[in-house]
Structure 1
Amino acid sequence: MTVELKVSSIDNHILSLSEDVTIPQAPPGFKSGFIGIIGRPNVGKSTLMNQLVGQKIAITSPVAQTTRNRLRGIVTTPAAQLIFVDTPGIHKPHHQLGEVLVQNAKIAIESVDVVLFVVDGTVACGAGDRFIADLLTRSQTPVILGINKIDQQPPDAHNIDTSYEQMALAYQWPTVKFSAKVSTGLPQLQELLIEHLDEGPLYYPPDLVTDQPERFIMGELIREQVLLLTREEVPHSVAIAIDLVEETPTVTRVLATIHVERDSQKGILIGKGGSMLKAIGSAAREQIQKLISGKVYLELFVKVQPKWRHSRIRLAELGYRVEE
């Protein structure tokens, strides 16, 4: 038996709509399922998913709360298909956007087969981790505790590890240590996740790495460069709208608008003589060219949308909604 899925894209590994792709039948004993990556902001969830998938589909930044949408990354092996759901860091929200992001992360806990609770192995278990642990105990979804950043741990990390291991023991959660940055321990993590999945079908074509359309990934790659190059000056007041993607045999033309909340932020993004906007565009274009494996012409505009993070209407217009 085969399943027909409508897909098409600049890059065959990015899901979009139009041409027929056949999903083959899974072999006997094949396992599959959805894995929610949950944790505080900046514990390395997006870096982990990129490493597991083998290519960049989620943006990373030293700025906390980088992830905004539930982004799926797909890993298919001969024995299993793992669909990772990267979620926004769970934190105390300070505006409507924060409320939406945290609510979506909570919904993800109930809509996956396994939760991978990622913590920062460079610091001991804190109040934020215990808050998430309490949320997870209210769900019936199995949990695996993942201690990340072991490559950055201090020489004597025994007390740090013990603080997490005691929490895991209290809830009878399996524990695995790894470094998403340098890939240490990731094969063991993947093996443990597969053990906790049930037998199931192939949900996606074996060579697909994400179910997000390329327009979404392009917008995220632009937003990543804004976060990296402006740091605290324009932290989370930015949203990207992809206005046009036009393909020709020689180049893909992309027009995008960067939305901010204040005129001062617009000035920072443009920079003296347009220098900052040029730097953002140049760096983002390089990333998009890697994504689509082709030449890109990228044109950026900046628009002020006052208090967009506090408006449900503005959030919806920019693609931020509470997930079903």
Structure 2
Amino acid sequence: MTKAFRAGFIAILGRPNVGKSTLLNRIIGKKISITSSKPQTTRHRLLGINTTEEYQMIFVDTPGVHPGSKRYINQIMNKTAANALIDADVTLLMITSEGWKEEDRHALKLAQQEKTNLILLINKIDKLKNKNQLLPLIEYSSQLHNFKAIIPLSASDGNNVQSLVDVLPEYLPESPLLFPEGQTTDKGAQFIISETIREKLFRQLHNEIPYALAVEIQQLEMTESLIRADAIVWVEKNSQKGIIIGKKGEKLRTVGTHAREELESYFERKVFLQLWVKVRENWSDDAVMLRSIGYIE
């Protein structure tokens, strides 16, 4: 007897920098969500779609949740993460092998508010020198909640990720395809380009600049062989503008080069990028500005 096709939504929840986007990219098999060592790199809800002959798993990559956030953009990110749970068939709560932090417990309380199948992922097991440390963590975690499963894994090197993929379909409802076969994300070219630029800024600047930067695509032209994009990098202070541009524009050129190379690989066509840096004080607390650059739908 042929198995019924299953399809559903799987929310990935956790504190900032726990590895959610890395896991999503690993499962989908291509980079659709930007990553960096900086917490709160993910700011938007992003869908990653994995389709086979038997199922379609729609993963929802959410911003890292953190209690007590005062800035408006952080409040929006917390709300985005919470809303992702409402329609989820499964929630993957991710912590690391370091154990439970205050923000992990906050994420657990958030997940417990929705009636969803809750699976705990213990990420970064590759960082453990002694794998015997996992057993006490698994036992302690099982006392906090009756998880459907507790799965240790490493999103970065793929260790035990397949075990997660194998167990998920049983928690999805019988359903026809929810997205066309072959589609891997719900985001278009404009989003991919702006996020790629933002990732390269984080990687190039390291700790030199805070999170008060955003990327807005001002103009986008696409043909079968060429993409032209004009983008503005928004910061909150004049001093930040100088840091991003660098001496004689060196840093901004480097960011543009790295972004262009990755985008050409992603879209398989030539890419021309033009970047400008502009200052808008307190943009991250400005609802009008946040709406204009896509943080509020």
Normalising to structure 2: TM-score of the pair? 0.95
Q: Which runs of 5+ in 2 are unaligned?
A: none
Q: RMSD of aligned C-alpha atoms?
A: 1.5
Say whether residues 1:126 and 2:126 are aligned partners: no
Conserved? CA contact 1:227–1:235, under 8 Å: no
With over 3 angstroms needed to count, the CA separation of the structure-2 counterparts of 1:196 and 1:273, relative to structure 1, is same
Where do 1:206-285 residues align within 5 Å?
206-248=181-223, 250-285=225-260
Aligned-partner Cα distance in 1 for 2:132–2:258: 37
Structure 2 residue aligned with 1:16: none
With over 3 angstroms needed to count, the CA separation of the structure-2 counterparts of 1:194 and 1:127, relative to structure 1, is same
User: Quick check: 168-177 or 50-59, which moved more?
Assistant: 168-177
With over 3 angstroms needed to count, the CA separation of the structure-2 counterparts of 1:278 and 1:187, relative to structure 1, is same
Aligned-partner Cα distance in 2 for 1:75–1:281: 30
Where do 1:17-96 residues align within 5 Å?
29-92=4-67, 93-96=69-72
Conserved? CA contact 1:145–1:168, under 8 Å: no
Superposed displacement of residue 137, structure 1: 1.8
Conserved? CA contact 2:10–2:90, under 8 Å: yes
Superposed displacement of residue 111, structure 1: 2.1
Conserved? CA contact 2:212–2:236, under 8 Å: yes
The correspondence for 1:291, drawn from 263, 266, 272, is 266
Aligned-partner Cα distance in 2 for 1:222–1:312: 23
Match of 2:206, SS state, is: helix
- State the number of aligned residues: 294
Aligned-partner Cα distance in 1 for 2:106–2:264: 40
With over 3 angstroms needed to count, the CA separation of the structure-2 counterparts of 1:274 and 1:112, relative to structure 1, is same
Structure 2 residue aligned with 1:171: 145
Superposed displacement of residue 163, structure 1: 2.9
Say whether residues 1:105 and 2:81 are aligned partners: yes
Aligned-partner Cα distance in 1 for 2:223–2:175: 40
Structure 2 residue aligned with 1:9: none
Aligned-partner Cα distance in 2 for 1:157–1:60: 29
Match of 2:41, SS state, is: coil
Q: Which runs of 5+ in 1 are unaligned?
A: 1-26
Superposed displacement of residue 189, structure 1: 0.3
With over 3 angstroms needed to count, the CA separation of the structure-2 counterparts of 1:166 and 1:249, relative to structure 1, is closer
Deviations 1:240-285 (A, max 9, x none): 1111222345422111111111101100011000001001000110
Letter in 2 for 1:44: G
Runs of 4+ in 1 over 4 A off after TM superposition: none
Conserved? CA contact 2:218–2:232, under 8 Å: yes
Structure 2 residue aligned with 1:310: 285
Say whether residues 1:196 and 2:160 are aligned partners: no
Aligned-partner Cα distance in 2 for 1:303–1:84: 34
Normalising to structure 1: TM-score of the pair? 0.87
Deviations 1:267-322 (A, max 9, x none): 0011000001001000110111111011111110111111000111111111111x
User: Quick check: 140-149 or 167-176, which moved more?
Assistant: 167-176
Superposed displacement of residue 59, structure 1: 0.2
Superposed displacement of residue 77, structure 1: 1.4
Conserved? CA contact 1:124–1:164, under 8 Å: no
Conserved? CA contact 2:88–2:116, under 8 Å: yes
Superposed displacement of residue 107, structure 1: 1.2
